[in-house]
């Protein structure tokens, strides 16, 4: 479990208005003496000249051992609407947790101080949150329309990691680790206590918890140029991310991960029958086609009843997973319910085949019985899913 940290005292200078800013942009830094000043001044210039909402820049120093903190202090004194805080422990997640928890802005965001992301993406990132349309917004280097310049090793690791997330946790997020994110503060206050990680996996855990709890995630394609002097240790970060993924997979498999969102929760649709019906039908048609192919290729070897058992079993896991993800919009299948209908389908189709076999050995009759019984089981399952969403 994570250590609970108290929000640090934040140094503020020259507040532009009496009210809190709309957007608080947090820059977590560790030993960034070479890039901190140029990054902050560039960001400050963009926000001053081109950003339509009131704003603040918050520099959070993660126990740097170089001159990062002294530079941050000086920038907070010199530049309006810039403040700085110092933490005595490392961890990007800890820095974001501390700054976001203490912020009085409507929207809290963060970006890497090297400004790898082109700043023109900041407004598209936060606008859906300011309007209330979305709850979380992320930059994506893997979304259509993004332009990325990075080392092949980092590209391979990033794509592999996100494929693992999609396969293991059924997330629809394309790029979980891009250092360019924003959250509505009311949402952040609810979801931050549920995040256990205080390091690099913090981003992924935030997104997966948000997705699991029905929050709307807005994805923005970005122009990204990798910083060749990054403080990120790729191997250790990748290992930590894989451990975090395994931890969340176990957590979700045990039915945990629900957050009491209170008034910021999104009300479910009163009726999304059309979407669920079409999704269920397409998955069912694909499963039926595969099962029939397996039945036709094996019934001559092991008989119609044995071939039916093999055919239904072969598609069981994939069918359950696909319906959980696309029909029910769940991160994992309801295995007890799925297995009950799997067993019922095997028993009913085997019994029907036995009756047909007593009358005729016609393959066409066997196929017709299979399609009819599989369809009946599918209808019963859809009714059960619809009644227990």
Query: Is residue 96, in this structure, part of any structural domain at all?
Result: yes
Query: Is residue 48, in this structure, part of any structural domain at all?
Result: yes
Catalytic residue among 61, 135, 197, 203: 203
Domain match, 78 and 180 both: yes
Higher pLDDT, 264 or 58: 58
pTM (predicted TM-score): 0.74
Kindly state the average pLDDT of the residues 173-182. 91
Domain match, 138 and 46 both: yes
Kindly state the average pLDDT of the residues 265-273. 71
Domain match, 214 and 322 both: no
Which element (helix H / strand E) includes 281? helix 273-322
Percent over 70 (pLDDT), the chain: 90
Mean pLDDT estimate for the chain: 86
Q: What is the pLDDT of residue 112?
A: 92
Q: What is the pLDDT of residue 327?
A: 79
Domain match, 294 and 235 both: no
Q: What is the pLDDT of residue 11?
A: 39
Domain match, 141 and 282 both: no
Whether 226 is catalytic is no
Domain match, 179 and 237 both: yes
Q: What is the pLDDT of residue 270?
A: 61
Query: Is residue 168, in this structure, part of any structural domain at all?
Result: yes
Domain match, 77 and 29 both: yes
pLDDT band with cut points at 50, 70 and 90 for residue 61: very high
The residue segments making up the domain with residue 295 are 273-387
Query: Is residue 114, in this structure, part of any structural domain at all?
Result: yes
pLDDT tens digits, one per residue of 228-254:
655 556 677 888 889 999 999 889 878
Kindly state the average pLDDT of the residues 318-339. 78
Residues 45/119, Cβ–Cβ less than 8 Å: no
Q: Is 245 exposed, middle or buried (0-12, 13-18, 19+ CB in 10 A)?
A: buried
Domain match, 144 and 173 both: yes
Helices marked H in 104-254? 122-131, 152-169, 185-191, 202-212, 234-253
Residue 388 has pLDDT above 70, yes or no: no
Domain match, 231 and 284 both: no
Last residue of a domain, one of 241, 264, 287: 264
Q: Is 220 exposed, middle or buried (0-12, 13-18, 19+ CB in 10 A)?
A: buried
Q: What is the pLDDT of residue 15?
A: 37
Q: What is the DSSP letter of 56?
A: E
Residue 328 C-alpha from the chain's centroid: 17
pLDDT band with cut points at 50, 70 and 90 for residue 336: confident
Residue 155 has pLDDT above 90, yes or no: no
Domain match, 224 and 364 both: no
Residue 14 has pLDDT above 60, yes or no: no
Domain match, 311 and 244 both: no
Give the span between the Cα atoms of 258 and 332, in whole angstroms. 13
Least confident window among 89-93, 108-112, 313-317: 313-317
Kindly state the average pLDDT of the residues 318-343. 79
């Amino acid at each position: 479990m994570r250590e609970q940290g108290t929000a640090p005292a934040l140094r503020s200078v020259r507040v532009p208005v009496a009210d809190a800013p709309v957007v608080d942009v947090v820059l977590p830094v560790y030993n960034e003496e070479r890039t901190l000043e140029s990054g902050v001044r560039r960001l400050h210039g963009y926000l001053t000249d081109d950003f339509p909402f009131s704003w603040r820049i918050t520099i959070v120093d993660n126990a740097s051992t170089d001159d990062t903190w002294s530079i941050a202090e000086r920038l907070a004194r010199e530049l309006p609407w810039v403040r700085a805080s110092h933490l005595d422990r490392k961890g990007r997640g800890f820095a974001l947790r501390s700054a976001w928890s203490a912020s009085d802005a409507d929207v809290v965001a963060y970006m890497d101080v090297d400004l790898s992301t082109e700043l023109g993406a900041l407004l598209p990132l936060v606008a859906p949150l300011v309007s209330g349309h979305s709850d979380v917004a992320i930059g994506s280097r893997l979304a259509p329309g993004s332009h990325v310049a990075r080392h092949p090793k980092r590209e391979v690791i990033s794509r592999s990691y996100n494929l693992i997330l999609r396969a293991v946790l059924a997330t629809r997020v394309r790029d979980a680790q891009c250092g360019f994110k924003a959250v509505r503060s009311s949402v952040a206050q609810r979801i931050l206590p549920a995040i256990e990680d205080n390091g690099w996996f913090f981003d992924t855990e935030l997104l997966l918890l948000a997705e699991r709890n029905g929050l709307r995630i807005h994805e923005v394609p970005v122009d990204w140029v990798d910083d060749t002097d990054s403080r990120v240790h790729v191997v250790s970060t990748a290992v930590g991310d894989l451990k975090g993924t395994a931890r969340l997979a176990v957590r979700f498999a045990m039915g945990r991960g629900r957050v009491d969102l209170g008034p910021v929760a999104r009300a479910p649709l009163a009726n999304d029958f059309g979407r669920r019906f079409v999704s269920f039908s397409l998955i069912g048609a694909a499963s039926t086609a595969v099962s029939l192919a397996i039945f036709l290729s094996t019934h001559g070897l092991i008989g119609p009843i044995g071939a039916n058992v093999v055919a239904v079993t072969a598609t069981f896991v994939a069918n359950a997973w696909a319906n959980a993800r696309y029909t029910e919009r769940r991160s994992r299948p309801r295995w007890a319910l799925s297995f009950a209908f799997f067993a019922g389908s095997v028993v009913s189709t085997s019994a029907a085949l036995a009756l047909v076999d007593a009358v005729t050995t016609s393959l066409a009759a066997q196929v017709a019985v299979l399609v009819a019984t599989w369809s009946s089981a599918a209808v019963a399952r859809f009714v059960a899913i619809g009644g227990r969403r």
